[in-house]
Structure 1
Amino acid sequence: MTSDGRIRVMEIIARMNVGGPATQVMGLYEGLDREEFDHRLYTGHVDGDEADRLGDRLLDGDGTTRVHRVAGLGRAVRPADDCRALARLTGAMREFRPHIVHTRTAKAGALGRTAACLAGVRAARVHVFHGHLLHGYFSPAKRRLYVMAERRLAAMTDRLVAVGARVRDDLLAAGIGRPEQYIVIPPGVSLGRVPGRAAARAALGLPPDVPVVAFVGRLTRVKRPDRFLATAHAVLRRLPTCRFVVCGGGELTGEVERGAAEAPRSFHLLGWRRDVETVYAAADVVVLTSDNEGTPLTLVEAGMTGTPVVATRVGSVAEVVHDGSTGLLAAPDAGELAGHTVRLLSDPALAARMGETALRWTTAAFGVERLVADTEELYRSLAATSRRLRGSVA
């Protein structure tokens, strides 16, 4: 497909903050067959209250530039910055002439697909919905604008990828895209070495013999850290020795700090950590309290360490957590979440069985090798589309 026989892929994401989308990008960045794919990443900068998943990695070991920072391509919507990012992406496409433009996250999806039209490169276009912004993010008026924009963008896209069937169905119900445009590719995860429980607790300064509950993720409104705090305080009324570990940060960090100050010995606020395996290994239960999710990697990662979870039944969570088998699902209610958490903490045999089942299930279904294989297959099909659009091989 190129002068050296490779398929050119231009992947665009607004920012590589620690979270599900960036984890998927890194899995592809490291796992794609470089003899078949010339894969390049274009991304903006991470806000100050978030950790950068990419770090300073801009060059490969052989000196090749495969990561490009794009000024203005960040989280915030600012017309001047957005126009600058659009111009930069359009110019980069004309220079690179990708066969496939692969976008992730709402802002990057809008700018990347628009740039593909402006650049005139006739690349096949694919956009990934790691979740959606239909619930828990916007006012009704802003939600209508979001849906209208995504409908128009879907009309100029060859493939729409959803991380779960529920995410796909929600988007279709909102009139975004057509059924034949969609493909479901679940996320893929590769964890580092998982330490033993005693070593993990020692590393985090936790007592070896108390119940431990972990929350891992961004401290932002849709994740409902206020519901996590309410759940934690309800658990503490029944299990006063329980410890709660929070791994993450965001704009609601101050709110979490104030809530934790009511029981300072019970909460351990870690901020962002790269060794999330240590956090999961130290925990008896992992909780997720969100109003809206795609296919949350926190729950996949917890399963891969053999830790059962308690989570709200939202988005595609039920496609990761088999209720009553690998964890317990609840309504978005602190009381029900607390009840499930106490049940697992009070019944170590049940928690162990669920953890073992979760380990088998998540390892088989959500490995990064499967993600890479699914994506490579998608790229090959899209490259054939690009070839037809171009009329000849570049």
Structure 2
Amino acid sequence: MKPDGRIRVMEIIARMNVGGPATQVSGLSEGLDPKEFDHRLYTGYVDDHECDHLRLHGMESQVRRVPGLGRSVRLGDDYRALFWLISAMRTFRPHIVHTRTAKAGALGRVAARLAGVGSARVHTFHGHLLHGYFSPARRALYVRSERLLASMSDRLVTVGSQVRDDLLQAGIGRPSQYVVIPPGVRLRPVPDRGTARAALGLPPDAPVVAYVGRLTPVKRPDRFLAVADAVSRQIPGCRFVVCGGGGLEWQVARDVEPVHDSFHLLGWRKDVETVYAAADVVVLTSDNEGTPLTLIEAGMAGTPVVSTRVGSVAEVVKDEHTGLLASTDPAELAAHTVRLLCDRSLARQMGEAARDWTRYAFGVGRLVSDTEHLYRSLCGKADRRLVAEESTR
């Protein structure tokens, strides 16, 4: 160890685009005890159509940028990022290398092995790419790659039990490697309904349904629009709020043009709590999820949700108690949404139950505590590797 005796943690994520992984990393960076942990964050750059979490929250000075690291696979950039990480590891000599997202998980774990610094290796799956992303051939390649990378890992962290079970079923890692650490969320103070609606330009009394998240194929904003169409037929005057951006932003804007008076396309907003406060129901329409922060945040704001039953969603939303779960059928999602819009008493009960549950189960303090415990449990293993490495020099 260094003379100050702290546990050195090198955390690597491909990019800090707005979303669950970036929120988790930010919470950890702020919450880890600096007297015990020397935690350093290494990241690449967001794509042109993505919103940078660091810039949005004024945190750009708190990271180390890795040249060549980003979302896209480019052989030259990937090699540059790999060798840059190897050099950084040999300089910092971390006890723990903690990677997140598939790209950083591959480069970071390979770099940790090649650097020869004896670090314990941890990789967090915020979800997985087993469904909704790849063709069968590319999925098979992804599975083979993750199986190999799992053999280079000391711990595999998942944000939910279902995510872990899906990965194990695909033959990725061993049960003893896995640790489930659910997300931790800190929502800013939630405004009252009237203030929130005024801020967003929404009528004070109209029913409001919100979508919060990236506009990408796996999130299925097209399904949300189908749900909105079905809801509008039963509840005229309903308004629909879309908070987020991404590669399909232009398509969503085009598709809602005929009914643009019913839609409010907000783009990315820092004050998502305002969106939750203004909404009567939050709807998630994804084909695949890990443990979605949107549903946690909505719960903390006391807003009931309707969601597809995918990934670890059922570990956030207690069906018929804190929200309603459905298949991926737009008609079923719409029926659940109409039910909550028409039964205000039920919606209020579910919102209150969701607030109690999410604040208890998904606080940032619990996330930080679980992660600190994981790091401490691995530090002895890392120390033994460092000693073994020194003895061979």
CA 49–80 in structure 1, closer or farther in 2 if over 3 Å, else same: same
The superposition leaves residues 8-49 of structure 1 with CA deviations (integer Å, 9 ceiling, x where unpaired) of 000000000000000000000100000000000000011121
CA 273–154 in structure 1, closer or farther in 2 if over 3 Å, else same: same
Secondary structure, in 3 states, of the residue corresponding to 1:44? strand
1:233 pairs with 2:235: no
Match of 2:191 in 1: 195
Equivalent residue letter for 2:378: L
Give the C-alpha shift of residue 262 in structure 1. 2.2
Kept in 1, the 8 Å contact 2:215–2:245? The answer is yes
Equivalent residue letter for 2:195: A
1:135 pairs with 2:137: no
Name whichever of 257-266 and 273-282 sits farther off: 257-266
Kept in 1, the 8 Å contact 2:117–2:389? The answer is no
Give the C-alpha shift of residue 58 in structure 1. 4.2
1:340 pairs with 2:340: no
Kept in 2, the 8 Å contact 1:2–1:393? The answer is no
CA–CA distance in 1 between the matches of 2:143 and 2:181?
22
Kept in 2, the 8 Å contact 1:160–1:182? The answer is yes
1:380 pairs with 2:376: yes
Q: TM-score normalized by structure 1?
A: 0.97
Match of 2:59 in 1: 57
Match of 2:21 in 1: 21
Secondary structure, in 3 states, of the residue corresponding to 1:135? coil
Give the C-alpha shift of residue 102 in structure 1. 0.1
Kept in 1, the 8 Å contact 2:156–2:178? The answer is yes
Kept in 1, the 8 Å contact 2:118–2:389? The answer is no
CA–CA distance in 2 between the matches of 1:321 and 1:206?
27
Match of 2:96 in 1: 100
CA–CA distance in 2 between the matches of 1:318 and 1:235?
24
Equivalent residue letter for 1:263: V
Give the C-alpha shift of residue 193 in structure 1. 1.2
CA–CA distance in 2 between the matches of 1:392 and 1:99?
13
Identity, in percent, stands at 72
Map 1:1-394 → 2, pairs under 5 A:
1-55=1-55, 57-59=59-61, 66-391=62-387
The superposition leaves residues 221-279 of structure 1 with CA deviations (integer Å, 9 ceiling, x where unpaired) of 00001100000000000111100000000011111112211211100000000100000
Q: Which runs of 4+ in 1 moved over 4 A?
A: none
CA–CA distance in 1 between the matches of 2:300 and 2:156?
28
Secondary structure, in 3 states, of the residue corresponding to 2:258? coil
Secondary structure, in 3 states, of the residue corresponding to 1:349? helix
Match of 1:62 in 2: none
CA RMSD, 1 decimal: 1.1
CA–CA distance in 2 between the matches of 1:23 and 1:58?
14
CA–CA distance in 1 between the matches of 2:192 and 2:76?
50
Kept in 2, the 8 Å contact 1:387–1:393? The answer is no
The superposition leaves residues 58-81 of structure 1 with CA deviations (integer Å, 9 ceiling, x where unpaired) of 44xxxxxx5101121111111111
Kept in 1, the 8 Å contact 2:116–2:389? The answer is no
Match of 1:63 in 2: none
**Gapped runs of 5+ residues in structure 1?**
60-65
**Gapped runs of 5+ residues in structure 2?**
none
